[in-house]
Amino acid sequence: MAFQPHNLVKNAIRPLSFWLGVLYVILTLSHWLILPRDVAPIMMGIAGGSALSLFTLYWYSGQKTFTRASVYPVGTFIAGVVGVNSFVHMLLDPHPHLSTNIGLLIIGLGVFMIDRNWYLGNLMVALIGYGIVLGILGYSDSWTPFLFFILQATILSVIANYVRTQNAINLANRQQEIELVAQFAIENEDRFRTLADATFEGIVIHQNGFILDANPAFATLFDYEIYEMIGMSVYDLVAPEDRETAIANARSGSEQMYEIAAQKRDGQRFIIEVRGRMVQRETGPIRVVAVRDVTEQREYERELRREALIFENISDSVILTDLSGKIIDINPATVRLFGYEREELIGKTPAEMWHVPRTGVSVNEQIIQGIHQNGRWQGEIEVVRRDKVHRVMDVTALPLVDSDGSRIATIGVSQDITDRKAAEQAMKQAKEAAEDANKAKTNFLASMSHELRTPLNAVIGYTELIIEEARHNKLETVEVDAIKISSASRHLLGIINDILDIARIEAGRVHLSLTSFSIAYLVDDVRAAVEPLIAKNGNIFIMEIADDVKKLYGDELRVRQMLVNLLGNAAKFTHSGTVSLNIHSANRGINFVVSDTGIGIKEDELERLFEAFTQSEENSTRTYGGTGLGLAITRRLCDIMGGSISVQSEVGKGSTFTLWLPDIAQIPDELTEVVEHN
Amino acid sequence: MAKILLVEDNEMNRDMMVRRLQHEGHTVVAAANGREAIELAEKEKPDLILMDISLPEMDGWEATRELKNRAETQQIPIIALTAHATHEDRVKSMEAGADAFETKPFRMPRLSAKIEKLLEDNPDLRDRYQKD
């Protein structure tokens, strides 16, 4: 530790003076006790010095208690007075006087002044004053004491001067230092404030969670004004689920960086990266926290991870090529699809690796042109794998652009569609084969129909001639037989017609001629056709048409066909009973209800009733005749027109068929033919 | 009654039809194929033609088109009479220019009604037809 003159005063002169003072008091008292003369001046000196020192003490320090720091100046003062006085008194002037004591008082004051770093001039004044007093009053019997005082004063002056000078220097240094520090502190605060204001990171200072200050970046981040944030709980800015984490970090004084979810004024959430540090202040520990919004960064990272995941795991080949067409990067699927290892491909072009040479514009050129013109290229490329197997790839090539829009690479996504194409081809062929077969079947049916009709035409025609001639010649037996031939022939014709009909319906080649027609006319026509059949088995025909039934839009001939079929069946399977036709409007259409009191249909046969080539009983064809196609055709025609048909029956009681047709037939366009109606 | 040109390649059917039409009171000339039909139509100037479709050398559709294209025969009504009973056959016949369509085997009353109607529509024939 450097020598400090100030310390000399404090540590040496003061105690020394103090104890000298004590010694003086003892000596004086003993002196007074032994030689009790001139008591008054001594007492006055002591009392005066003490009073002055107490006053000084009070004035100087303002302290109410006597500590070492406050007692020492007093001691020093007393020492200044009595120390020197005792020397003089004892050694030089055995009979001190009042004036001597006054002089000593002045010297003591001087010493006190020295101690208090007062100016040397004061001391000199005191010394000179003392010398003058002695000299003028002539109390001294010689100049010796005067010279001694001068010497003493000079020594004290030199010491005092030195001490004072050093103290002054120290003081000056200290003040300058204080000023510098203060200046520095001001500048520092400015600088830090500027720094904090300018930084993009949010900075917040809080004590026990209460915000003391924040920088603009922090306030902006949370959508507050700075003044609004002062005094707020910093944890209100943290998403509820992360508050505990934030509190724990702040409490522990951790300086680790961590991430939590934060919330803005409006509750909008984002992710922040937080790092705090505890700082000690007179008012207690405060925490300075730096906060950064990392939401975008995290999202970007997530996106990158996602993209990387796709790139790594997608079953399609992904190839990145530079502008010269050289492969920069590939994904694992590329290795699987082409059979080449990654190392073999980097730096090569797809064209030299696997493109099958083509005449005309190369695939590469096509891709470059496509990207240039349309921003992308999509097409099929035939490639050769490393194992020499040819595959067809469906390739989409896209430009990879920089943030400024300039193309930096090409990304090609390829999918092996060889198998798919083969399957499509097979399916196409199968479909064509099926269509061909269907066409062949239709053609066969058409020609069969023609081939059957031609001889049948002759049979029927000649039979008619025979009937005419037999009638003409009154050959009754011949006429009856010929009529049977005719009947059988017409039945055969009916079968041929039905087979052709159902084949065409099933092939979707039935054509409907749509017109709006009168139900009344239709019913007259139907009645004429079925009445003979109904009457044949001794049945009664009842017909009811509701008043609101007027017209229907559909294929008149087909509707007639359906009704004749249903009524024909009813007539056929009913004997001496009733066959009825009830027509009424129902649900935006018309219900045609055909009921009979015939033999009925067994429940298990009801299901198969509308299928082709089914009749109620296996042998009923023989018993009742018919092709067994009538209901199948009726059902299919009904379906085509958008209608419905249902049946209720009880064996032995009869059957009821309900045919519903919409007012306006709903038919696929290709089956429709609208007929002009006159 | 009317003079009818019957075009039919099947001999049996032709014979039967000729006789039945004659029984109805018509005068019948018969042709066995399309080409013959055109020749006879020009030569005989029939009041009506019954045209089979499946014919050797020139089928009924082509013959019908041909007859309808010629000035001297185009006014003669043609009934397509065929064992081809499908919708397409009907449409094709009408497109070729036939005035009516009937399927084989035919019913005489129905065919007669069509013949009568077509003859009635022809003003030249009407008087004669109605007189008879």
Return the pLDDT at A39. 43
The three-point CA angle A247-A248-A254 to 5° equals 110
Is residue A45 within 8 Å of residue A85, measured between CB atoms? yes
Closest CA–CA distance from residue A663 to any residue of chain B (Å): 24
Residues A449, B16: C-beta atoms closer than 8 Å: no
Q: Which of B16, B83, B105 sits opposite A465 (nearest CB)?
A: B16
Q: CA-CA distance, A570 to A178, in Å (whole number)? A: 127
- Cα–Cα distance list, B48 to B29, B37, B65, B115 (Å): 11, 12, 15, 8
Residues B105, A497: C-beta atoms closer than 8 Å: no
Confidence of residue B22 (pLDDT cuts 50, 70, 90): very high
Give contacts of A455 with chain B, Cβ < 8 Å.
12
Residue A425 class from Cβ within 10 Å (0-12 exposed, 13-18 middle, 19+ buried)? Answer: exposed
- Please, how many CA atoms are within 13 Å of residue B21, restricted to the half-sphere of its CB? 25
Residue A659 class from Cβ within 10 Å (0-12 exposed, 13-18 middle, 19+ buried)? Answer: buried
Is any Cβ of chain B less than 8 angstroms from the Cβ of A465? yes
Residues B104, A454: C-beta atoms closer than 8 Å: yes
Return all residues near A116 (Cβ < 8 A) that are at least 6 apart. Answer: A60, A73
Return the pLDDT at B91. 86
Residue to substitute from B86, B95, B108, interface A, most A β-carbons within 10 A: B86
Q: Which residue's structure tokens are 């129905």?
A: B110
Burial A557-595 (b: 16+ CB within 10 A, else e): ebbbbbbbbbbbbbbbbbeebbbbbbbeeeeebbbbbbb
Residues B20, A460: C-beta atoms closer than 8 Å: no
Return all residues near A333 (Cβ < 8 A) that are at least 6 apart. Answer: A314, A315, A316, A317, A318
Return the pLDDT at A24. 53
Return the pLDDT at A100. 53
Give contacts of A500 with chain B, Cβ < 8 Å.
85-86
Give contacts of B12 with chain A, Cβ < 8 Å.
455, 458, 462
Instruction: Indicate the DSSP class of residue A465.
Output: H
DSSP per-residue codes, A236-252: GGB-GGGHHHHHHHHHH
What is the complex's ipTM, to 2 decimals?
A: 0.84
Return the pLDDT at B20. 92
Tell me the sheet residues that pair with A412: A319, A397
Is residue A38 within 8 Å of residue A95, measured between CB atoms? yes
Is any Cβ of chain B less than 8 angstroms from the Cβ of A285? no
Is any Cβ of chain B less than 8 angstroms from the Cβ of A458? yes
**Alpha-carbon torsion (A521, A522, A523, A525), positive or negative:** positive
Q: CA-CA distance, A646 to A595, in Å (whole number)? A: 12
Tell me the sheet residues that pair with A262: A238, A270
Residues A453, B108: C-beta atoms closer than 8 Å: no
Residues A461, B16: C-beta atoms closer than 8 Å: yes
Return the pLDDT at B131. 47
Is any Cβ of chain B less than 8 angstroms from the Cβ of A489? yes
Is residue A611 within 8 Å of residue A627, measured between CB atoms? no
Annotate A151-166 with three-state secondary structure. Answer: HHHHHHHHHHHHHHHH
Return the pLDDT at A115. 53
Is residue B78 within 8 Å of residue B49, measured between CB atoms? yes
Q: Is it the case that residue B78 has pLDDT exceeding 90?
A: yes
Residue to substitute from A439, A453, A454, interface B, most B β-carbons within 10 A: A454
- Strand A377-384 and strand A390-401: pairing? antiparallel
CA-nearest residue to A472 within chain B is B23
Q: CA-CA distance, A286 to A205, in Å (whole number)? A: 7
The H-or-E segment that residue A473 falls in is: none
Return the pLDDT at A36. 43
Going across the sheet that includes A551-554, the strands are A551-554, A512-518, A672-674
Rg of chain A in Å (alpha carbons): 65
The H-or-E segment that residue A414 falls in is: strand A407-416
Return all residues near A512 (Cβ < 8 A) that are at least 6 apart. Answer: A554, A555, A558, A640, A641, A665, A667, A671, A672, A673
Return the pLDDT at A22. 56
**Mean pLDDT, rounded, for B77-103:** 86
Return the pLDDT at B57. 83
Closest CA–CA distance from residue A534 to any residue of chain B (Å): 22
Give contacts of B17 with chain A, Cβ < 8 Å.
461
Return all residues near B53 (Cβ < 8 A) that are at least 6 apart. Answer: B59, B60, B61, B80, B81, B82, B84, B89, B93
The helix/strand/coil state of A325 is coil
- Cα–Cα distance list, A556 to A386, A561, A562, B36, B118 (Å): 69, 9, 10, 39, 24
The helix/strand/coil state of B75 is coil
Q: CA-CA distance, A254 to A211, in Å (whole number)? A: 18
- Cα–Cα distance list, A492 to A268, A459, A541, A622 (Å): 86, 11, 27, 14
Q: Which of B12, B23, B85 sits opposite A468 (nearest CB)?
A: B23
Residues B104, A465: C-beta atoms closer than 8 Å: no
**Mean pLDDT, rounded, for B10-37:** 92
Q: CA-CA distance, A462 to A457, in Å (whole number)? A: 8
Rg of chain B in Å (alpha carbons): 13
CB atoms within 10 A of CB A173: 10
Q: CA-CA distance, A252 to A246, in Å (whole number)? A: 10
Tokens of A175: 């003040």
Lowest mean pLDDT among A73-87, A655-669, B4-18, B95-109: A73-87
Which amino acid does the sequence have at A263?
Q
- Cα–Cα distance list, A352 to A319, A355, A359, A360, A498 (Å): 14, 7, 15, 16, 66
Give contacts of A504 with chain B, Cβ < 8 Å.
86
For chain B, the domains span 3-131
Residues A500, B86: C-beta atoms closer than 8 Å: yes
The helix/strand/coil state of A509 is coil
What domains appear along chain A, each with residue ranges and CATH number? 5-174 (no CATH), 199-298 (3.30.450.20), 321-416 (3.30.450.20), 423-490 (no CATH), 510-674 (3.30.565.10)
Q: CA-CA distance, A123 to A367, in Å (whole number)? A: 107
**Alpha-carbon torsion (A463, A466, A472, A475), positive or negative:** negative
Q: What is the mean pLDDT of each run of 10 residues along chain A (678 residues)?
A: 46 53 54 47 47 45 43 51 51 50 55 52 51 49 48 53 60 70 70 74 89 89 89 90 90 89 91 90 85 88 88 89 87 89 88 74 80 86 87 89 81 90 92 86 79 88 92 91 89 82 76 84 88 88 88 88 90 90 90 91 81 56 61 88 89 91 77 49
Helix intervals (H) in chain B = 11-23, 34-44, 60-69, 87-96, 108-121, 123-131
- Its CATH architecture, for the domain B3-131, is 3-Layer(aba) Sandwich (3.40)
